[in-house]
Structure 1
Amino acid sequence: MSLIRRNPGLFPSIWNDVLTPDWFGGTDFQNHTLPAVNIREAETHFTLELAVPGMKKEDFNIEIDDDVLTISMEREAEKQEEENGYTRREFRYSSFKRAFTLPETVNEDAIEAEYTDGILRFSLPKREEALPKPKRLIEIA
């Protein structure tokens, strides 16, 4: 693999200057992302974790339909500051939607969720028939 360097020339992209950072003190348009997700498989269940700090459990909408787990969040906030006769009013709207196709081995009726310390955590237990069977000894007659 080779590394190619490009010279931006005399006029770098004006969009980089205009949109990053936002001139009004807001957030960078390029850094809006979906929450990070961790998925782990254990012998009896799967664990699904989403990093969504600063939310409340009431902000989330969680649905299961046709073996698809859909997690979405919408939140609106308004902030108003008054200083030296000027009023600054900010509106913030954030949302995301993630969908995960559940394997056939998951028992959908036993899924549990909790929100603690900015982590939305799901326990997805496996169906009884998907669990590993214990070893057994067979005696010779």
Structure 2
Amino acid sequence: MLLKNTDFPVFPNTLNEFLRDWSTSNFSMTNTTLPAVNIKENEHDFIVDVAVPGMDKKDFKINIENDILTISSEKTSDKNTSDEKYTRKEYSYMSFKRSFSLPKGVINENNVKASYINGELKITIPKLIKENSIKLIEIE
């Protein structure tokens, strides 16, 4: 199906928005793109992988408060292109905030680790180690 863009800003092309392939988008209610997240669990940890290419590790803020993991980022970049007859400046702004509820009383907040390699933010949240509390009861 060929959809024509009218390029007439006064009349938004509602049909194009409606027929768009929504299955490939990841938008928040504010129409900003949210990064894709995978959450895994193993015997010892919860592992949160966030796809955020083009960022720097200094762009992220990660915190855990009241068993809620919050990941946020804000990045602004400018691009300048000059010619003899005109100057063009393009702004690029990316911001997101994602929050996830963690199981209560299960995580070890003091040993959370995060790394950013090749466009992937990896957060490892260790579980509390519960010692086997086997109590031997003597018979009197």
Q: Superposed, which structure 2 residues align to 1:73-88 within 5 Å?
A: 73-88=73-88
| Pairwise CA distance, 1:17 | 6.1
Point out 4+ residue stretches in structure 1 off by more than 4 angstroms.
none
Aligned to 1:91: 91
Between the aligned partners of 1:14 and 1:82, the Cα distance in structure 2 is 32
SS of the residue 1:128 aligns to: coil
Q: Which residue identity does 1:123 align to in structure 2?
A: T
Aligned to 1:126: 127
SS of the residue 1:74 aligns to: strand
Aligned to 1:22: none
Deviations 1:39-77 (A, max 9, x none): 111111111100000000000111111111111000111
Deviations 1:80-111 (A, max 9, x none): 10124211111111100001111121111111
Q: Which residue identity does 1:14 align to in structure 2?
A: N
Between the aligned partners of 2:96 and 2:15, the Cα distance in structure 1 is 25
SS of the residue 2:58 aligns to: helix
Point out where structure 2 has 5 or more consecutive residues left out of the alignment.
1-11, 18-26, 133-140
Aligned to 1:14: 13
Normalising by structure 1, we get a TM-score of 0.69
Between the aligned partners of 2:45 and 2:126, the Cα distance in structure 1 is 4
Between the aligned partners of 2:63 and 2:44, the Cα distance in structure 1 is 22
Deviations 1:88-137 (A, max 9, x none): 111111100001111121111111000000000011111011x8x6xxxx
Aligned to 1:34: 34
SS of the residue 1:109 aligns to: helix
Point out where structure 1 has 5 or more consecutive residues left out of the alignment.
1-12, 19-29, 134-141
Q: Which residue identity does 2:44 align to in structure 1?
A: T
Normalising by structure 2, we get a TM-score of 0.70
Between the aligned partners of 1:48 and 1:38, the Cα distance in structure 2 is 6
CA-based RMSD of the aligned residues comes to: 2.6
How many equivalent pairs are there? 110
